[in-house]
Amino acid sequence: MKHDPRHPSPIRTRVTRDVLWLVVGLIFVLATAIVMATLWHMYQDARIDSQRIVKTLLTKPSTQLGRLLTLNDRVSDPSVWVYQNHRLIAHSPNTASIYPGPSYSGLVWLPTLQLQSSYVFSSRQYVVRWPLRTDWALLQWLGAAVACLVGISALAALRISSWITTRVLYPIHDMVTHVNNLLSSERIQPIPEPLGGDEFTELAALFNQLLVRLEAHRQKNLAMVGDSAHHLRTPLAVIRGNLDALRHWDVLDPSVRDDCLEAIDRTLSDMTRMTDDLLTLDEALGKVIPPMIPVDLRDVVHELWEDGQALIHAYGHGRLTWSERPSVASVVWAHKDYLRRALWIVIDNAIKYGTHEEEAVSIQIASRSEEESSIIVRDNGPGIPPEELPQITSRFYRASNVRHLSGNGLGLSIAVALMNTQNGSLEVESSGAGTSVTLSLRAVRLQSDP
């Protein structure tokens, strides 16, 4: 049965209606089968009884036919005609006013339902009309009983299906009520899980997990908006202060004007870099798993090692070395651009925060297990305080011992998001001196699929 999608009916109504139609249909089919079987049985009994009468008459001469047929003088008795060469030679007394015809067979209604059978043997034709009045009355009674049964069954099915659907769908109704309450409130709270351990309990548990994730995502977005606003407040204040100073352009000393313009340019560059980092982080967090291809870690490290030499020259300190452990499976499943960007962030942080003078930053390719290969970046800087290590990959978070240096605290969070997008991982370890960052990805083994 089709439903109007603009006005959907409740599940309880649809289930009740479907169960009702199913029960009524099954009973109707069963009743029809019973009636048809009864009718067929009546037909067969009448035909067999008619054949028995004819067999009795076949053994009698013509002079005795009339005497035998005089016994059928009641309306409820079968009517019999005997023809000889198409001429009526005998008939039962209850046939005086009825002429059936010479060769007609089948059901007739004269004046009640009867079965007429015609049999031809040699030159004789026997016509027997068997009354079905009693059988027809039984059939009518059976039809009335079937109609009553269908009606009673329909009412019972309606009541039972309504009761069952009410009990079965009560957890859904309860969940809908709680969801409506959630929509009308500002707080996200888990819905009560129904008892019983059935599919509704599982659905409620999954829905609560979804709510927890949505709430965590909402809190992260709120924190990101708040942190972004906080980090933008200072550069905007710097720009505003320098613009206010430049309003007196004519009376300002040229060196002061240059300092103001330089400060505005530097602040705008920092804001642009932070905006680009936020866009990169949003892209990494929002994307599905990108196409993964076999990537050789040695090629990536070698390319970034060369770029790192220019970075060392720009910072004016540090050295960059790289090595590879023996028998390392250096080919991994990765998105090469994402891997390069994540590794470059780690190398940039290591050179910026972890080296002084000629101290070296080492890059090593290693295998953590038969299924995983890694790039380990180590520096010899001041390290990360142990109590701050769990928050070091959070957005806008910077260790307390390097906050005097330039940066916005987005680098490691971007690197973590880029590695997670590739089904990889990024781990940070730090002691009193130095920090180690490990980027791990699934190694390519033989012809395994990504």
CATH number of the domain within which 250 lies:
1.10.287.130
User: Do 218 and 256 fall into the same domain?
Assistant: yes
Task: Please say which residue of 282, 316, 332 terminates a domain.
Answer: 282
Angstrom distance (rounded) from CA 60 to CA 417: 109
Q: Which CATH number fits the domain that encloses residue 89?
A: 3.30.450
User: Do 274 and 337 fall into the same domain?
Assistant: no
Contacts 24+ apart (CB under 8 A), 194-202: 200/171, 200/172, 200/175, 201/171
Task: Please say which residue of 249, 282, 315 terminates a domain.
Answer: 282
User: Do 251 and 347 fall into the same domain?
Assistant: no
Higher-pLDDT residue of 160 and 101 is 160
- Calculate mean pLDDT across residues 49-55: 83
Q: Which CATH number fits the domain that encloses residue 430?
A: 3.30.565.10
Q: Which of 58-72, 144-158, 201-215 has the lowest mean pLDDT?
A: 58-72
Other beta carbons within 10 angstroms of residue 278's beta carbon come to 19
Domain that holds residue 230: 199-282
User: Do 325 and 438 fall into the same domain?
Assistant: yes
Task: Please say which residue of 117, 147, 165 terminates a domain.
Answer: 165
Angstrom distance (rounded) from CA 334 to CA 341: 12
- The structural domain count of the chain equals 3
User: Do 267 and 224 fall into the same domain?
Assistant: yes
Q: Which of 24-38, 117-131, 243-257, 383-397 has the lowest mean pLDDT?
A: 243-257
Gyration radius of the chain over CA positions: 48
Task: Confirm whether 111 is domain-assigned.
Answer: yes
User: Do 351 and 309 fall into the same domain?
Assistant: yes
Check residue 441 and give its pLDDT.
92
For residue 290, name the pLDDT band (cuts at 50, 70, 90).
confident
User: Do 229 and 332 fall into the same domain?
Assistant: no
Check residue 9 and give its pLDDT.
58
For residue 25, name the pLDDT band (cuts at 50, 70, 90).
confident
- pLDDT tops 60 at residue 3: no
pLDDT, tens digit, 9 for 90 and up, residues 393-433: 887 777 877 776 777 777 888 888 888 888 899 999 987 67
Helices and strands, number each (H, E), in the chain: 9, 12
Check residue 212 and give its pLDDT.
83
Task: Confirm whether 183 is domain-assigned.
Answer: no
- Calculate mean pLDDT across residues 238-258: 78
- pLDDT tops 50 at residue 448: no
pLDDT, tens digit, 9 for 90 and up, residues 376-392: 998 888 888 888 888 88
For residue 144, name the pLDDT band (cuts at 50, 70, 90).
confident
Check residue 295 and give its pLDDT.
92
Check residue 426 and give its pLDDT.
92
User: Do 38 and 62 fall into the same domain?
Assistant: yes
User: Do 51 and 76 fall into the same domain?
Assistant: yes
For residue 6, name the pLDDT band (cuts at 50, 70, 90).
very low
For residue 294, name the pLDDT band (cuts at 50, 70, 90).
very high
Task: Confirm whether 351 is domain-assigned.
Answer: yes
- pLDDT tops 80 at residue 251: no
In the chain, the amino acid numbered 297 is: L
- pLDDT tops 80 at residue 346: yes
Residue % of the chain over a pLDDT of 70:
86
- Calculate mean pLDDT across residues 255-270: 80
Q: Which of 45-49, 61-65, 154-158, 346-350 has the lowest mean pLDDT?
A: 61-65
Angstrom distance (rounded) from CA 346 to CA 353: 11
Phi then psi dihedrals of residue 424, to 5 deg: -110, -165
Task: Confirm whether 39 is domain-assigned.
Answer: yes
User: Do 356 and 395 fall into the same domain?
Assistant: yes
CB-side neighbour CA atoms (13 Å) of 279: 6
User: Do 121 and 227 fall into the same domain?
Assistant: no
User: Do 30 and 161 fall into the same domain?
Assistant: yes
Contact 54, 126 (CB under 8 A): yes
Check residue 439 and give its pLDDT.
93
The rounded mean pLDDT for the chain is 78
